Structure formats: structure tokens, C-alpha cells
């Protein structure tokens, strides 16, 4: 038997809809998240870095982050797979019903195979399409936009979108300007079609500016360092960041992205029920909140206990809100993220 036939044989023929049955509405049918038990507090950093709880809290808003125990097999595949299982359970779907898995990460164990392929196999989504999406912290929002369009086009019915990063695997814990910011975590959603045409994306955007790549990058070789900034073997495979430049880019981009997305949808800032933003730094979030005059309960901040979990941060916030019963049917939710690339993206939903 041809291997392609074997794979196709595992999928129900109905997984691709005939054109006349194309749904126009898309719903977020379930969400889930997963965090490792291990914690790294500001007090822990003070033991081995020249830093203080006061400096970290004032500059970033972070008090603690979660950290995988790699020796116990905790990694992006483990966190992302568990988050997806919970999202499937929440959506009351069996993994075998998934048609596609989009896995936003820059910290998978291998480039080939994609982490998505192994996660799909491990959760039981055998034969579903599966790929990794490398847009750093914007990975989940890019994935959400793509997953939505796959369903809206009628080509796919049930799409899992995971945002997940094992940041502790790429952090140099002697670099105090970077180490204190990041934590490990994963979140996931399952998207399905609905006859309710009012549900789904109202406006979205995805952007990149590769000319700013050297402000946030992960070198794999000495030759990957930018001209004029010679690398060292210790810095290879460790996240390199120009914090000041990223901060300026983020404050400007975040506000503009929100404004442009609202304009596209013809909405005012106060018509959005929830701003689910990438948790990069509490000061960056606060700048956006002030610019749009939003009450604190609409722009959610959980960076204090998770740090910046890169692609994991947006779905972690969303799942926290959903589990707390704060996302109601018909709410308007704006997802926004920015990250390495440089990339930035938004996704404005009626859920």
C-alpha cells in the first residue's frame, strides 16, 4: 500500500466539506492550558544574580515563573500536548476528530519532525495535518488567524491551535537582563464551525519586519550573530535580546495594532469586552491600557505569576478567563501579540 493511502485511510472522508456545506461562523469550542509545577521566584534569582525583587517587580511586574524539569521529560511537546488534551475535553471532542493541528513554538526539541507531528500522534489525532508555526511570541495569534480561515473556507472542520514555549531551555541564566523575564507554559484552543454567522473573526492582522531581527534572536551557530557583535560558544542556543529596543518597539506597536484592528472592524476601544494581550512586561501593557483609557478588568495581566511565556502567554490568559467564567457567549475579544522576527499580530473575535 502506498504510504499516502495509509494515512488518508485513517481520516474520515467527511473531514473536508463539500462547497455547499461551507460554514461561515467559527467558534472557539474549547480551551486548555498546562504549566509545569516548578517555580522560579524573584528571591531565587537574588541568590545567583546581581538583581533584586524590587528591580524586577518595578521594571517588569513579574514575581515568579514556571520552569520545566527537563530530566522528567517536561518540554514543549509535553506542555503543549497536555494543553491540547484539556482543550479537546473542554470542547467535548475526541482527538481523532481533529483535522489540523497548528503548533506555535520556537522551542520544540527538533526542527524535523515538527513538534506538532509528535503531539498529534501522542494525543491520538493520527493522520491530521500538523505543523509548527515559528512566529515567536506572536505564534499563537498567527495560528488562531490561520485556523479560523481554514474553517471559514470550508476546507477543514476542527482545528487545534497551540501556543507553547519551553523558554527555560534557551535562557542563559547568567544574563540578568533576559533571565528574569521568561517562564515556561502552554495554552490551546479548539476551533469548530458553527451555523451562527455572527461568530468568528471580525478583523485580523499579521505583520513582520525582519530588519529588526537582531533585537531578539536565537543563534544556532557562531555565524548567526549580527555583524559587529561577535558571538561566543556560551551564547549559542541562548536567546539574545536588546531589551531597550524591544521595549520601544513594543510600546509603539501594541497601541498602533490595537487601534488599527479596531478601525478595521469599525469598533471603539470600549466595545471590546476582553483584551487578551501577550504578557511581555507589565509596563508595556499598562501603556496600552492608559492610551485607550481601559479599565483594569478588561486588559488582563497575569505576568506576575507566569512571566513571559512567549507563544504560551496569550492562550494562557484566555484559558484563565474562560475557566473563571468571565468569557460570555457573544463577547468581543481582542487577541494581540508581538515578538521575535520582529512579528506582531491581532485577532478580533466575537466568541
- Binding flags for ligand ACO, 123-162, as an x/- string (CB under 6 A): -------------xx-------------------------
Which residue is catalytic, options 166, 278, 281, 300? Answer: 278
**164: annotated active-site residue:** no
Say if CB 288 and CB 277 are below 8 A apart.
yes
Which residue is catalytic, options 42, 82, 281, 308? Answer: 308
Nearest CB to ligand ACO, comparing residues 117 and 246 = 246
- Binding flags for ligand ACO, 57-76, as an x/- string (CB under 6 A): --xx----------------
**112: annotated active-site residue:** no
42: contact with ligand ACO by CB under 6 A: no
Label residue 306 exposed, middle or buried (CB < 10 Å: 0-12, 13-18, 19+): buried
Nearest CB to ligand ACO, comparing residues 31 and 281 = 281
Minimum CB distance to ligand ACO, residue 141 (Å): 12
SS3 at position 218: coil
Number of H helices, E strands in the chain: 11, 13
180: contact with ligand ACO by CB under 6 A: yes
Say if CB 48 and CB 41 are below 8 A apart.
no
12: contact with ligand ACO by CB under 6 A: no
Instruction: List the one residue out of 144, 128, 127, 133 whose CA is nearest residue 191.
Output: 144
Minimum CB distance to ligand ACO, residue 267 (Å): 26
55: contact with ligand ACO by CB under 6 A: yes
212: contact with ligand ACO by CB under 6 A: no
Label residue 164 exposed, middle or buried (CB < 10 Å: 0-12, 13-18, 19+): buried
**278: annotated active-site residue:** yes
187: contact with ligand ACO by CB under 6 A: no
CA distance 323 to 74: 24
- Return the half-sphere exposure (C-beta side, CA atoms, 13 A cut-off) of residue 175: 17
The interface with ligand ACO within residues 238-257 (CB under 6 A) comprises 241, 243-244, 246-247, 250
Say if CB 345 and CB 154 are below 8 A apart.
no
Instruction: For the beta carbon of residue 192, count every other beta carbon within 10 angstroms.
Output: 18
CA distance 92 to 29: 8
Q: What is each CA distance from 104 to 2, 128, 138, 321, in whole angstroms?
A: 31, 16, 8, 21
Identify any residues that bridge with 241 across adjacent strands, giving them in sequence order: 216
Which of these ranges, 53-61, 150-158, 269-277, 295-303, lies near ligand ACO under the rule CB under 6 A?
Answer: 53-61
Q: Which helix (H) or strand (E) holds 190?
A: strand 185-194
104: contact with ligand ACO by CB under 6 A: no
Q: Tell me, by CB under 6 A, how many residues bind ligand ACO.
A: 24
107: contact with ligand ACO by CB under 6 A: no
Nearest CB to ligand ACO, comparing residues 23 and 307 = 307
CA distance 172 to 66: 16
Which residue is catalytic, options 137, 166, 274, 281? Answer: 137
Minimum CB distance to ligand ACO, residue 287 (Å): 11
Residues that bind ligand ACO (CB under 6 A): 51, 55-56, 59-60, 136-137, 176-177, 180-181, 216, 241, 243-244, 246-247, 250, 280-281, 308, 310, 339-340
- List active site positions: 137, 278, 308
Amino acid at each position: 500500500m502506498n504510504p499516502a493511502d495509509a494515512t488518508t485511510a485513517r481520516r474520515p472522508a467527511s473531514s473536508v466539506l463539500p462547497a455547499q456545506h461551507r460554514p461561515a461562523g467559527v467558534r472557539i469550542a474549547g480551551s486548555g492550558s498546562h504549566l509545569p509545577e516548578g517555580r522560579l521566584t524573584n528571591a531565587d534569582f537574588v541568590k545567583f544574580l546581581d538583581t533584586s525583587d524590587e528591580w524586577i517587580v518595578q521594571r517588569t511586574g513579574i514575581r515568579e515563573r514556571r520552569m520545566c524539569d527537563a530530566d522528567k521529560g517536561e518540554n514543549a511537546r509535553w506542555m503543549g500536548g497536555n494543553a491540547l488534551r484539556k482543550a479537546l475535553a473542554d470542547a467535548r471532542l475526541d482527538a481523532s476528530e481533529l483535522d489540523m493541528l497548528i503548533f506555535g513554538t520556537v522551542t520544540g526539541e527538533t526542527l524535523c519532525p515538527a513538534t506538532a507531528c509528535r503531539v498529534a500522534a501522542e494525543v491520538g489525532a493520527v493522520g491530521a495535518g500538523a505543523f509548527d508555526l515559528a512566529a515567536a511570541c506572536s505564534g499563537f495569534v498567527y495560528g488562531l488567524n490561520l485556523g479560523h480561515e481554514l474553517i471559514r473556507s470550508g476546507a477543514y472542520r476542527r482545528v487545534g491551535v497551540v501556543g507553547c514555549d519551553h523558554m527555560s531551555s534557551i535562557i542563559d541564566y547568567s544574563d540578568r537582563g533576559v533571565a528574569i523575564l521568561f517562564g515556561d507554559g502552554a495554552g490551546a484552543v479548539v476551533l469548530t464551525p458553527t451555523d451562527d454567522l455572527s461568530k468568528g473573526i471580525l478583523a485580523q492582522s499579521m505583520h513582520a519586519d525582519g530588519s529588526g531581527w537582531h533585537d531578539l534572536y536565537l543563534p544556532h551557530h557562531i555565524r548567526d550573530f549580527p555583524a559587529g557583535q561577535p558571538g561566543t560558544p556560551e551564547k549559542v542556543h541562548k536567546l539574545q535580546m536588546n531589551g531597550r529596543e524591544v521595549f520601544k518597539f513594543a510600546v509603539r506597536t501594541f497601541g498602533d495594532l490595537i487601534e488599527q484592528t479596531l478601525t478595521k472592524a469599525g469598533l471603539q476601544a470600549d466595545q471590546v469586552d476582553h483584551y487578551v494581550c501577550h504578557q511581555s512586561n507589565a509596563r508595556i501593557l499598562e501603556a496600552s491600557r492608559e492610551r485607550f483609557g481601559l479599565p483594569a478588568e478588561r486588559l488582563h495581566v497575569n505576568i506576575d505569576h507566569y512571566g513571559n511565556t512567549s507563544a504560551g502567554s496569550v492562550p494562557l490568559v484566555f484559558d484563565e478567563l474562560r475557566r473563571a467564567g468571565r468569557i460570555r457567549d457573544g463577547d468581543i475579544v481582542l487577541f494581540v501579540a508581538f515578538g521575535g522576527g520582529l512579528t506582531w499580530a491581532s485577532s478580533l473575535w466575537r466568541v
